[in-house]
Amino acid sequence: MSTQLDALPVEMLAHVALFLDRHTERTSVRTRDESLLVLRSVSRACLDAVRRAIKSHPRNQVTFYRDVTTQKVTTVGAVLGSGCERLAYRGDHKGTSPEGLSALRQFVVDTQGRLRELSLCASSISAQLLLEICSACPQLKELSAGYGLPNILRADVDDLAAALSRSCPLLESVEIETDAPWSPAETYAMHFPNLKYLSLEAADESLVDYQPARFDKIEATARQCVGAETLSLDRCSVYPALAELLVRTPLQSRIKILHLHDTHMTQPTLLRLAAGLEALREIVFPNQFTGSPEFFASLARARPALKELHFGYSDDETTLDDACVAAICENFALEALIIDQNNTVTPAVVDIILRSPTAQTLRSASFYATPAVNSAGILRLARGCPRLARLTWRLFKLSPLAVALPEGTQHGNNVDDLTALLKERCRGHADWTFWVDPFIQYCPYPLAEKWRYRQVSLWGFTSAAA
């Protein structure tokens, strides 16, 4: 085999190597190009071909785990370093040896400035070495140094953040571990003007109902972060004073997405935020959000341009019902609607959507673990929404041979029809279909194959489905 490969021109070998991009996992290293590591051992010609090919491999990712050896870091860096765009190092809480840290630094140098994402955790890396590593990554877009880094924890976060910003001016996502309980927007975010995501969530996860109060820091962040598009108030208690501050800053013309996971705020405060954030297009509502048709009508008056609404887990007492969905779909021309893990809406919710203006604009929808929306309902929704191309749906313990009531159609046939419909709709377009297979425990499942209904248990045994 090696003799035959050696007979090929290096350029041709490099072209062949480009097709050896596959995802594998190992105990200590995960890489999308494990096969390239193997190929480079075949012969000198293959090694030269791999070194040439790796520079053309897009999104090459390498992840090192805590038991990785210094030799492996050095070897992988020598072969894959020049093509690596994403590097993650998951070290050992007991500390990383000086030789290991030196090998990690050399790996980053071997990327020749191509690195776009860097993630470090559970390591004894010093602030100075982190800065040296980042100085070799002028094109870095994402940096995560947020967990298990005691030397970073003790560093002066202002000095460190300022130095990181000078070394990596293109950073759009940054996480730095600090010993303060405050949020990134109250500590270091203002040093990174290109940040896309601004978070007021407390760094200390043990804090419940955190109240952001460092208004001077928040204002500085709002002024400096000219690239901000998403504002996270996750796990915060938001009072009117904070809402008024946010809508008075330059964020009012920049923020497009509002994240409110486990956020506590009154409905008037939420309406004030929606009205004041002029570019707002998407809201991720808190879990168990209690709304009403009147509230959603008011929200439409406050920000009629909203295009995406996300509703996550809710219980039977504080949830989204049919009347709320009707108010939403009648008052907005939504492009995305997510109603996941909902036990209150009824099967009528599909017809409510189809009768509304949203049916003509909806491009993305999710009804994950929402029992009222069965396979027949989701098929009717897709047929009645001509632009719908991204769809997530899953019901647990659903048999493909069972009947969807009251329609009387078979779940498996409905899924076949839905899959065919979405494939045809997306043909020739850049959009794509995101489909959660409701029969994931059944295999195989090709279209129109009667034997698809054999079931595989968690232990891997095959048995006939009931």
Helix (H) or strand (E) holding 224: helix 215-224
* Cis amide linkage into residue 444, ω under 30° from 0: yes
Q: Nearest-5° angle of CA 97, CA 102, CA 105? A: 130
CA–CA dist 175, 61 (Å, integer): 19
Radius of gyration of the chain (CA): 26
Our CA dihedral for 322, 323, 325, 331, rounded to 10 degrees, sits at 160
How remote is the C-alpha of 336 from its chain's centroid?
16
Structural domain boundaries enclosing 3: 1-179
Residue 173 covered by a domain:
yes
Q: How many domains does the chain have?
A: 1
Residue 39 covered by a domain:
yes
Residue 84 has pLDDT above 80, yes or no: yes
Cβ burial, residue 239 (10 Å; 0-12/13-18/19+): middle
Residue 116 has pLDDT above 50, yes or no: yes
Residue 67 covered by a domain:
yes
Residue 413 covered by a domain:
no
Residue 80 has pLDDT above 70, yes or no: yes
Task: Give the model's pLDDT for residue 459.
Answer: 30
Residue bearing the bigger pLDDT, 95 or 70: 70
Residue bearing the bigger pLDDT, 304 or 420: 304
Residue 157 covered by a domain:
yes
Residue 330 covered by a domain:
no
CA–CA dist 458, 104 (Å, integer): 39
Mean pLDDT to the nearest integer, 233-244? 96
60: phi then psi, degrees, rounded to nearest 5: -60, 130
Residue bearing the bigger pLDDT, 447 or 71: 71
364-368: strand order across its sheet? 197-199, 230-232, 257-259, 282-284, 308-311, 336-339, 364-368, 390-394
CA–CA dist 452, 406 (Å, integer): 24
Could you tell me the sign of the dihedral formed by the alpha carbons of 421, 426, 431, 434, in that order?
A: positive
Task: Give the model's pLDDT for residue 60.
Answer: 73
Residue 47 · residue 73 · CB < 8 Å? no
Q: Nearest-5° angle of CA 415, CA 416, CA 421? A: 95
Residue 127 covered by a domain:
yes
Report how far apart, in Å, the C-alpha atoms of 7 and of each of 2, 41, 51 are.
Answer: 9, 16, 18
Could you tell me the sign of the dihedral formed by the alpha carbons of 372, 378, 380, 382, in that order?
A: positive
Residue bearing the bigger pLDDT, 3 or 71: 71
Average pLDDT taken over every residue of the chain: 84
Residue 432 has pLDDT above 90, yes or no: no
Comparing CA positions, the residue from 68, 62, 89 lying closest to residue 147 is 89
Query: How much helix, strand and coil, in percent to the nearest 5, is found in the chain?
Result: 40, 15, 45
Task: Give the model's pLDDT for residue 376.
Answer: 96
Task: Report the CATH number that the domain containing residue 25 is assigned in CATH.
Answer: 3.80.10
Mean pLDDT to the nearest integer, 262-279? 96
What amino acid is encoded at 205 in this protein? E
> Model-level pTM greater than 0.75?
yes
Residue 365 · residue 381 · CB < 8 Å? yes
Residue 271 covered by a domain:
no
Task: Give the model's pLDDT for residue 147.
Answer: 87
CA–CA dist 425, 448 (Å, integer): 19
